[in-house]
Amino acid sequence: MNKSLIFILLAGLLASCDEAATYKKQTVDGIQYVAIGSDGDGCMRYQIKSTSQMSVQVVLYKTIDGGYTPNKKMSLCFL
């Protein structure tokens, strides 16, 4: 399967699930949420980075409660 198709399917699945829509900051060692710059609307984007394990490469936005979400409409940008 094409890597782009897998990425799109995974992003759609995460965005459609209520429980999975908001990522909480993990306490696992080696996992960080790294700012990757702003989008066209000025919203800061983040990605999960890990030095010890593979991570999903999805664009995330910060939520009001300090978590992270792939759903831009649930982010701090739209409050």
Q: 15 Cβ partners below 8 Å, 6+ apart?
A: 21, 70, 71
Residue 35 lies in a domain: yes
Based on the structure, what is the number of domains in the chain? 1
Stretch 8-19: mean pLDDT, rounded? 48
pLDDT above 80 for 65: yes
Phi, psi of 47 (to 5 degrees): -135, 155
pTM: 0.59
Beta strand segments in the chain, E: 31-38, 44-50, 61-62, 68-69
Residue 36 lies in a domain: yes
Which residue has better confidence, 8 or 55? 55
pLDDT tens digits, residue range 20-57?
Answer: 334 444 546 678 888 999 999 899 999 988 888 888 88
Domain hosting 43: range is 3-71
